[in-house]
Structure 1
């Protein structure tokens, strides 16, 4: 076994057990930015050859970006669209037809259709919001130290964009984690430190 898989062993055993029983499974991966959600999803995709749906494709559209919406813990995600376009079809074992949000044009892209799979992954901050959690079968919350988070965000995004994370996005995420406590409701907690 590769050393990188060792902390994942309980999760892998859970997924393998469910799949061996022929149970379709939706896995949700939540955690702060820079905690390794996308990296974990990519690793699991290599192991299970499964589709991944990214919460980043469900950013709020311009007309949704109101002070009232941002005041809601977890309000920075178009969770209504994620629920309707991805999670409900997965739960009903139907094809998923969803539209990715393009952050550059601030528009929804043409629909993408994904066939039902035995394992599907939904990854991203806010995906364990209580309005979405009933539609997940297995859930993981990642953790990361503030120091490592900061270093990863700087390396990934550069100084100018990283400052937006530090000033805007991380405080919104922290409000969500404080209010909704996904780390207390998930099936697995994995530290990326």
Structure 2
């Protein structure tokens, strides 16, 4: 599938999100926060970068907020939505966006299990928060738009297998997907979101 076809598919699938953001930009003079949550391999990152091409905005990834080693306790992993560092995300990112300030934060790498070089994000009105658990209730009612990327289970598995390989697929199936689904169900994420069908991209 060539790039032009993919762009056309994205434009059609993501049009409802673009319309909502355009409306928010007209109605609000202050900062705007958009959460893109949803199933893994459904297209959350694709949507975030598509929006970045359209708007002058910041994109923040929840994958930059993996749990630090001292946080990886049995109690934390048993907590619904507890497998991200939501405390640090609120303190280092959300707090400064709300104050209309630049954001400086340190991505935590799951590969090296260490902090990477700090990122400096200049303040922009529009801010996209992308990734699973971006709608964590710990953050409160801060979002102006909530988006949920959905995808059929069979297509989700096929994409993960292609993207991550067979060995990692087993971890997704046995660990990460069940945790995400538990989070979506407990906090009723779909109901409060604009739902986008990730199967179309």
The verdict on a shared fold, with TM-score over 0.5 as the criterion, is yes
> Aligned residue for 1:141?
148
The number of residue pairs the alignment matches comes to: 192
> Aligned residue for 2:13?
7
Tell me, yes or no, if structure 1 residue 91 matches structure 2 residue 123: no
Structure 1 gaps of 5+ residues are none
Deviations 1:45-76 (A, max 9, x none): 11113221100000111111111111111111
TM-score, normalization: structure 1?
Answer: 0.93
Tell me, yes or no, if structure 1 residue 120 matches structure 2 residue 127: yes
Give the whole-Å Cα distance in 2 for the aligned partners of 1:165 and 1:57. Answer: 18
Contact residue 127 and residue 133 of structure 1 kept, 8 A: no
Tell me, yes or no, if structure 1 residue 46 matches structure 2 residue 53: yes
Cα RMSD over matched residues? Answer: 1.6
TM-score, normalization: structure 2?
Answer: 0.90
Deviations 1:3-22 (A, max 9, x none): 43223223212211222343
Deviations 1:143-178 (A, max 9, x none): 111011101111111111121111111111111112
Structure 2 gaps of 5+ residues are 1-6
Tell me, yes or no, if structure 1 residue 100 matches structure 2 residue 107: yes
Give the whole-Å Cα distance in 1 for the aligned partners of 2:172 and 2:187. Answer: 20
> Aligned residue for 2:62?
55
Q: How does 1:31-42 map to 2 (within 5 A)?
A: 31-42=38-49
